[in-house]
Structure 1
Amino acid sequence: MKNAAPRGAKEQVRELLVRYGERTSDRRPLPDFLVIGTKRGGTTSLWRYLIQHPLVPRLFPAWNTKTSHYFEENWGRGEAWYRSHFPTERQRAALEKKHGGPSKVGEAAPLYMFHPEVAGRVADLMPGARMIVLLRDPVERAFSHWKERRGEGVEPLDFAAALEAEQSRTAGGDWPASDWYSYRARGRYLEHLEPWLARFDRSQLLFVQSETFYREPAATYAGILDFIGLPAHDLPAYDVFNDRPGKGMDEAVRAELTGYYRPFNAALEERLGMRLTWP
C-alpha cells in the first residue's frame, strides 16, 4: 500500500499537464516533420538522434517518447489534443534565440505509413509537412517484427506458422491484430506509400534505406537534418536502440520470403527511382 499514494499523485500531475497542453493548444504549432516508417526499420534510433539536436524539442509532456499516435489511434481526440503534444511558439522562439537557428518539431510513428487513413489525414491537417521514410529489407523487417511480438508475449507461434496464419488473423480489419501480426504485409512497401506519393510533392518525402542508416549513421543523420531544414550537428555516439537482429531465421523461410518480395521490391525501385541493395 505504500506505493499507492505516489502513483496516484503521479497520475494527477500527468492529467494536469495534459489539460494544460490542451488549454494552450492554440499557441502550439503543428509539427514540421514526421518519421512515418517503417516499423522495425530504425525509427527509434533516428528519433533518439533527432532529439539530441538542440533545435529539436521533445514531445510534451516529457514522458511521451516519440509519438502521440494521433493520426491512427487517437484521431477522434481532435486537433487541440494533437497540438497539446508540441512546444509553444514562445518555447520555440527561446530555443531559436539560444541556439541561433530554426527549431523543428516532429514525431516518429512507424504505424503512420501502414495505416490506410493516415496519409489523407496528414495531408488535410499539415499539407506542408516533410516525411522521412526508413525502408528496411522486408525479409529482415518481418523477422524482427515477429521477434518483437514474441518478446512482448502476444505471439505464441513460431515464425513460419505466424506467416502462414497472417492472412486469417488480419482478415477482419481489427486494428490491433493488423498491427501485431502483419509481418508479411508491412514489407509490401509500395502499396502503403502510394497514398503518400499521391498527396504530397516528392520533395516532401525522403526515402532512406535502413541498412544505409545502420552502416553510415552520421552521414545519414546529416542528410536527414538538411532535409528537415536544421543546421548540422554532430553526435558524440550513434548507438543503436531497440535492436532485434535477424539471426536465427530458418533458411527455407528466408528463401520463400526473398522470392515473395522480389517483384514488390522491383516495383518500389522503379516507382521511387532509387537502387535498393536488398537480396
Structure 2
Amino acid sequence: MSNIAWTEQGSKNGVELSDIDFLIIGATKSATTWLQQSLQQAPYVYMPDAELHFFSRNYQKGDAWYLDQFERKPHTRVIGEKSNSYLESPEAPRRIQKALPRARLIAQLRNPVDRAYSDYCMLYRRGEVSKDISKYLDPRQAGGGRFLLGGLYYRQLETYLDLFPAESLKILLYEHIRQNPQAHLDAVRDFLQLPSALKPVANKVKDKTVPVVPPMLRRFLYPLRPIAAPFRSTPFVKGLRSMIAREPDYTPLPLDLRNRLIDFYAPETERLGKLLQQDLSGWLDATSSSKLFPA
C-alpha cells in the first residue's frame, strides 16, 4: 500500500484506528512478550516491537503519533499491539473503548504472588529497587505500589467488562503456557480469528540469569547514560561491561512473606475464579508454585 498523508483518522502508513484489531493489555511479567513474539512470527500479523503505552502513559501524544507506530505490510491482515500498562491504568479502558470499540482484548494473567516477585526482580536487575524485599512486597509495609496493585486482576478486568462485551475479552493464564503452549496459542488463534495456526517462539524470550551491571553501580552511573549512549556498541564499552557485569543476586521470597501475599490476594483470586469459572486454588497454596524466582 502506498503511503498517504496523515489525516484525522489515518497515519502516513495508511493505518487508521479502525484497522487496529487487537490489544494485549497485560499483565506485566506474565509472558506477554512470549505471546507477542509468537504472534509476530505469523506473516499476516503486524505488531510493533515496543510497548506503546498510548492509552495509559502517552495519550497526550495524540492519535497521529499512535498510528504512525504501525505498518501495513503486503501480507498484513491483522494489526495489534501489546502494552501491559493498559490492564493497570484507570484511564486506559475508557480511552480504548472510545477509540477502538470493536477491538479484541487479551489479558494474560499469572499467579499474582509470582507476578509481584518477578516484577520486583526485574526492577532489581535495573537497579531501581534495593534488596529489602519486604519494603516493596509486604502488604503491611508497601502500601500498594506497582508490585502489589498489579495483581488485583478482578477489579482491573471488571472495568473492561463494564465497557466491552464479554466476547471481546479473552482471559488467559500463564500457567497454561507451561502445561501446553500450543493449545494456549490455538485459543489465541481462534479468538483473533486468524487464518492459520500460531507456533510458539523457540527461543527463551527473557533470561533472569543474564549478567547485568550490579544495581548499586547502575544507580551511580545512571546520570551518565545520555553521555555514554552513543558509545554503548563500541568494543571498548562492551568489553568494559563484560568485565563488571554479574549474574543478579536476587533476594529469595521468604515463605512467611509469600503467605502474607497469598492472604492479600485471596479475595481477588476467589472473585476471579468465579468470573473465569476456573479453579484458581493453586494460587492460594504456598507449596504449589513451581518457582520462587522470576521468569
- The answer as to 2:29 corresponding to 1:29 is no
**8 Å contact 2:38–2:198 — kept in the other structure?**
no
- Whole-angstrom CA distance in 2 between matches of 1:234 and 1:43: 15
- Whole-angstrom CA distance in 1 between matches of 2:166 and 2:207: 30
**8 Å contact 1:22–1:81 — kept in the other structure?**
no
* Residues 220, 238 of structure 1: alpha-carbon distance in 2 compared, 3 angstrom cutoff: farther
More helix by share: 1
- Whole-angstrom CA distance in 1 between matches of 2:27 and 2:36: 13
1:188 to 141, 144, 152: 152
**Equivalence for 1:199:** 163
Shift of 1:71: 0.7
Gaps of 5+ in 1: 1-19, 60-64, 97-102, 171-180
**Equivalence for 2:71:** 87
Aligned residue-pair number: 234
Q: More displaced, 235-244 or 48-57?
A: 235-244
**8 Å contact 2:56–2:89 — kept in the other structure?**
yes
Shift of 1:166: 2.7
- The answer as to 2:93 corresponding to 1:119 is yes
Shift of 1:265: 0.3
2:126 to 119, 141, 152: 152
DSSP 3-state at the match of 1:156: coil
**8 Å contact 1:40–1:141 — kept in the other structure?**
yes
The amino acid across from 1:95 in the alignment is H
* C-alpha RMSD of matched pairs (Å): 2.4
**Equivalence for 2:230:** none
* Residues 247, 223 of structure 1: alpha-carbon distance in 2 compared, 3 angstrom cutoff: farther
Q: Which has the higher contact order (CA 8 A, sep 6+)?
A: 1
The amino acid across from 2:66 in the alignment is Y
**8 Å contact 2:55–2:92 — kept in the other structure?**
yes
Q: TM-score, structure 2 length as denominator? A: 0.73
Q: How does 1:192-231 map to 2 (within 5 A)?
A: 192-231=156-195
DSSP 3-state at the match of 1:107: strand
Q: Once superposed, which parts of structure 1, at least 4 consecutive aligned residues long, lie more than 6 Å away?
A: none
- Whole-angstrom CA distance in 2 between matches of 1:260 and 1:134: 20
- Whole-angstrom CA distance in 2 between matches of 1:229 and 1:213: 20
Gaps of 5+ in 2: 210-249, 286-295
Which deviations, in whole Å up to 9, do the C-alpha atoms of 1:146-167 show, x marking residues without a partner?
0001111110242112224432
* Residues 189, 237 of structure 1: alpha-carbon distance in 2 compared, 3 angstrom cutoff: closer
Q: More displaced, 32-41 or 183-192?
A: 183-192
Shift of 1:237: 4.6
- The answer as to 2:59 corresponding to 1:69 is no
**8 Å contact 2:116–2:137 — kept in the other structure?**
no
Shift of 1:21: 8.4
**Equivalence for 1:15:** none
DSSP 3-state at the match of 1:184: helix
- The answer as to 2:35 corresponding to 1:46 is yes
